[in-house]
Structure 1
């Protein structure tokens, strides 16, 4: 007895359906502990929030109970971007040089500024795949830099 193929099954991916090895420039992953991160919101540290976040990021995080969780997620994205680029903070690179923005679709992405923008061009980064999530205790971000 032969069985008919299941028309609901997903087709097997072909080699040309998958991105080539050269299309991924780097990957970064970061996890932020919410309790540790919340120290930034206590005096006197909260006076320096603009050192870590742009005005647009602060506005997008909103107010209320989940503000710290949302900002922790953005902070994790910033760290993951640096890891994907193989770079570190300092030497002319600031936390605000990575701005986390939300596309109309609701998906997060990043905009790089100053030296980081130049570094991304040197590394042939053409786009970013960004995933971020949080709970009341932890925020996590995964960032993949893709090439031309």
Structure 2
């Protein structure tokens, strides 16, 4: 029997999530709730870098994709402000978790996130990959 080839120091995927939303849904939510939608779902840091409904929708998708990668059921109480999607100087999105989600990520061994966000006029989408440490 041949030995299984393993590559040392290679990260592996712990979780993966993907989400898509119609930007019209987010626009409706923001119009109905005024600023409450942004205040409920986004930290002050996140709100400071978002300028339009496409960016709100993209960040919202990213948070839902991160929850899926963590294995969190979307029908339970979600602490949206404990998930922060920041932007690096390169423009790349990065994930900062707080509270119970940071604890969960630590228990799962998540050390790095790969996040991609995209949006067009009618839709926004995001994917999140949770990796272990090398």
TM-score by length of 2: 0.86
* CA RMSD, 1 decimal: 2.0
Contact 1:40 1:46 in 2 (8 A): no
3-state secondary structure, aligned to 2:94: strand
Q: Tell me how far 1:16 sits from its aligned partner.
A: 4.7
**1:38-96 deviation digits (Å, cap 9, x = unpaired):** 1121143533421101111111002xxxx1100100000000000001013545x4111
3-state secondary structure, aligned to 1:56: helix
In the alignment, the residues of structure 1 paired with residue 33 and residue 110 of structure 2 have an alpha-carbon distance, to the nearest angstrom, of: 37
Equivalent position to 2:121, from 133, 136, 142? 136
- For residues 105-116 of structure 1, the aligned pairs below 5 Å read 105-116=90-101
In the alignment, the residues of structure 2 paired with residue 40 and residue 55 of structure 1 have an alpha-carbon distance, to the nearest angstrom, of: 19
3-state secondary structure, aligned to 1:42: helix
In the alignment, the residues of structure 2 paired with residue 141 and residue 125 of structure 1 have an alpha-carbon distance, to the nearest angstrom, of: 19
Contact 2:43 2:84 in 1 (8 A): yes
In the alignment, the residues of structure 2 paired with residue 121 and residue 26 of structure 1 have an alpha-carbon distance, to the nearest angstrom, of: 13
Give yes or no for the alignment of 1:25 onto 2:14: yes
In the alignment, the residues of structure 2 paired with residue 127 and residue 138 of structure 1 have an alpha-carbon distance, to the nearest angstrom, of: 27
Deviates more, 1:47-56 or 1:106-115: 47-56
Q: How many residues align?
A: 127
In the alignment, the residues of structure 1 paired with residue 94 and residue 60 of structure 2 have an alpha-carbon distance, to the nearest angstrom, of: 13
In structure 2, runs of 5+ residues without a counterpart are: 1-5
Equivalent position to 1:57, from 40, 46, 53? 46
